[in-house]
Structures are given as C-alpha cells and as structure tokens.
Amino acid sequence: MKKYALTAIALAMALALPALSITPAHAGTYTQKNALEPWPEWNELNNSNAPALVKTPKYSRSALYTKTNSYETKPNTIKTKKGNANYTFKTQFFLPITYKKAGDWSDTQSFAFAGDYLYVLSTVRGHSDSQAWITRYDTAALKAAGVDKAGTNMKELRLTVTKMGKGGSMNATEKKVKAAIKKGPVFNAGHGQGLSYNPVRDSLFTWSYKAGTDNMQLQEIDIATLKVKNTWVFGMFNVGGKRVVKAKGVFNLDWDSEGNFYFDQVQVSPSPGTSSGSVKIFVGQIKGKKVTVRALPQTIKHRPGTLDQGLGVNRALNRLYLVSDDAFYSLPLDKALAGELKKTDMEYTVLDSKRECEGIKFDEQGRAYMLINSGSEIIRATEILD
C-alpha cells in the first residue's frame, strides 16, 4: 500500500528499439554504471480533456467485508463514474487475508498473469526493508472449484488459506483449492508493486532497491520456483553525469509482446519542456548482461491521481495504462513511442470504489483486471473495450 505520490511516469520507446532475441538466462547479478540514453527534447502533451486529478480517497472496505468477517460470498461491482472509457468490474477472486495471524496475507501490492496462472506479490507486514513473497494460483483449478462464482464457494479461497495456516479439517472443495496454491520464498522486492510478466523470457520481473544506493535493481524471477534468478543493477545518469532517476522513485513495471519493459515517474519539479506533476514514461531492454533505457519524448501533463499505483501494457490492444486510486488513463503505445500523441488519443476512466487500487493487467484477449485492497480481490472487466 502506497504512501508515495506519483513520481514521473516513464513509458518507453519500444518502436525505436530493435526486437529482442531470446538469450538463455543464467543466474547472476549484472552491474553497469549507466543504462540511460541521452534525454530527448521534451514535448509535453497537454491533455486538457482529462478529468480532474483524483485525490487519494479515505479508503473504504467492500460492502460485506466486515459483516462476513472477510469471508465474502457475493461479488462486488465497481463502475465508471466519469471519463470516456466506461468499464464495469466485478469480483473474480477474493484473495486470502489471513494465514496464521490476522491480516498477514492482506498487503497485496501487485499481480501478473501467465497462461492459467495468477501471480500475486504480497509484502510481509511490519518489515521496513520490503520483504515480500509471490503466491501462484492455478485459476483453472480455482474456477473448477467455483470460487469465482457467487455463492458459498466464493469464500473458500480465503477460508482455505486460513486453514492452511492455522490448521483445521478441509472439505473436498478446500482440498482442491489448496492444491491450486503455491507460495514462494521471501525476498527483497522494494515497494513491491512492479510484479509483471515478460512473455519473451517467460519470466516474472519486479523492481527491488537496496539501502545505501540509488541504483535501479531489476529482478528476474523463475516462473516455476518463484525465486529470484537474475538481477540487473544500473544507474540512470544524464549526459552531464547527474543522476536523474532513483530506485526509490520507481515502482511500476510491465512488458510489451517484444520483451521491452516500461516504467514511469512523476516530474517532481518543472524543467524545460515539462511541468511539475507531469508523467515521464521510459522504455528499456535487456541485452544479455546489460540494460538500455530511453525516455519517451512526450510527457503527460495531467496524471490520473495523487498516488502512482500501477502501469499496465495491454498487449492485445497495444495500449499503455497509468493507474491511481479509483482512476486510470490509457494511451496508444505506438503513438507514444513515436512521440505523436494527441489529447484525443487519451482514454480516461474514473471509478466509484473508494478502494486502494494496486494496478491493472490484461489477459490475452485484452480484457482488463485490477487488484484492489480492503479486502484484497481481483476484479474483472465485464467486457473488452476496443
């Protein structure tokens, strides 16, 4: 859960980068002084047609969370209240809240899909050094057990995990649910909201950071073992040698179909061609032991909301999404990479949940899913928007 304001959103220029070749991954840590290519001449997109910035709400819980002691059986519905892209989301999975101690699985920070698997990154409560783990869910097995359908079985994912931690007899459905869950080891994941899937390397990735350094740390995580297997450590300096991007100012991460990664950062103070509070988008590539990163030439003047809660790439529709609490904006990736965005290309969605939003992801058909907290759940768009 985030206490940081949006720091400048970095997308990236994948069109200008050659397609990746697949390189066998070998466990290791690879360090380089600087990965950033020279800054472009900034051209700020004044998306004056955007809704007003959504301020961080006083977070509320879902309607039946307290009444059911978190074991909800009816899906929540979240709708668009403003914007030109109208979504309706409904609960697909109520994610676990308690394993052994009350709320010890509740700090979910990010998620990713790969095939039938859902991966959720959760941070260890009470640890200031950002310890986290990844849980893998077999969604086909969960659906077969009926936990995605309104009714008694919808509570079984939460209930099963509590029984796994505290003990207790399980019914036939709970045994099936237990078999669909795999918990990975604890590792350092920074703030934790960068979990994402790289379809070229068939791996998970996330950011990390280490006390005493401002260098970026990009971690590759084995999709089967859920363990870190490679780390790229790199600085982000301009041509004058000034560090312009720091690890603790970058939270979000996602990948396009060619294996280019994207992240964002909010411009803290104005600079030539950019306004304070505008979003910068960066794109990068892994090339063996090295990383290259470049910034898009256009910044986005008006961002969705106070907190920078996520970035997602819809590989089916080729759009990039910037997420805040109860709001997200999207833009066509090809135009963004070419520096040809117009405000009429932007799509805006403001939701009515008053819940903390922890990112957006998409399935192979382009359908949107979001992770929201209090209590943690995956919500699914009822239709695919072109």
* Assigned domain for 167 exists: yes
Strand ordering across the sheet containing 28-32: 28-32, 228-234, 216-221, 203-208, 196-198
> 189 vs 133, 197, 311, CA distance in Å?
8, 15, 17
Dihedral angle sign, alpha carbons of residues 374, 325, 313, 246: negative
CA distance 9 to 252: 9
Query: Does some domain include residue 8?
Result: no
Both tokens of 91, joined, read 């609960």
pLDDT at 379: 98
Give percent above pLDDT 70 in the chain: 92
Q: Residue 372 belongs to what domain range?
A: 28-381
Assign residue 158 a region (left: φ > 0; alpha: ψ between -120 and 50; beta: otherwise): alpha
pLDDT of residue 347: 98
The count of domains in the chain is 1
pLDDT confidence tier of residue 127, bands split at 50, 70 and 90: low
pLDDT confidence of residue 129: 59
**Strands 108-114 vs 117-123: parallel, antiparallel or unpaired:** antiparallel
CA-only gyration radius of the chain, Å: 20
Task: With respect to residue 196, please indicate whether it lies within any of the assigned structural domains.
Answer: yes
CATH number at residue 261: 2.120.10
For the residues 360-364, what does the mean pLDDT come to? 96
Task: Look at residue 324 in the predicted model and tell me its pLDDT.
Answer: 96
User: Of the given ranges (149-153, 161-165, 225-229), which has the lowest mean pLDDT?
Assistant: 149-153
Instruction: Give the confidence band of 23 by pLDDT, cuts at 50, 70, 90.
Output: very low
Which tens digit of pLDDT belongs to each residue from 28-86? Answer: 999 999 999 998 888 999 999 999 999 998 899 988 999 999 999 999 999 999 999 99
**Given pLDDT bands bounded at 50, 70 and 90, which one contains residue 16?**
very low
Residue 140 is predicted with a pLDDT of 97
Cβ–Cβ contacts within 10 Å for residue 12, how many? 28
| pLDDT at residue 119 in the model | 98
DSSP label at residue 179:
H
Q: What pLDDT score was predicted for residue 40?
A: 85
pLDDT at position 268, please?
84
Examine the pLDDT at 1 and tell me if it is beyond 70. no
Reported confidence tier of residue 128, pLDDT bands at 50, 70, 90:
low
Whether 355 maps to a domain, the answer reads yes
Q: What is the pLDDT of residues 270-325, one digit of tens each?
A: 877 789 999 999 999 999 999 999 999 999 999 999 999 999 999 999 999 999 99
Reading the block at residue 66, the tokens are 């307290």
Is the residue at 89 inside a domain?
yes
pLDDT digits (tens, 9 = 90+) for 232-270: 999 999 999 999 999 988 999 999 999 999 999 998 888
Report the mean per-residue pLDDT for the chain.
Answer: 91
Identity of the residue numbered 4: Y
- Does residue 386 form part of some domain? no
Q: Is the pLDDT of residue 384 over 50?
A: yes
Q: Is the pLDDT of residue 12 over 50?
A: no
- Predicted local distance difference test score (pLDDT) of residue 380: 98
Q: Give domain status of residue 5, yes or no.
A: no
pLDDT at 21: 31
Report, as an integer, the average pLDDT of 214-223: 97
Looking at the chain, the whole-number percentage of residues with pLDDT higher than 90 is: 83
Residue 22 in any domain: the answer is no
Neighbours of 54 (CB within 10 A): 19
pLDDT of residue 5: 38
Q: Read off the pLDDT band of 11 (50, 70, 90).
A: very low
- Kindly tell me if the per-residue pLDDT of 170 is higher than 60: yes
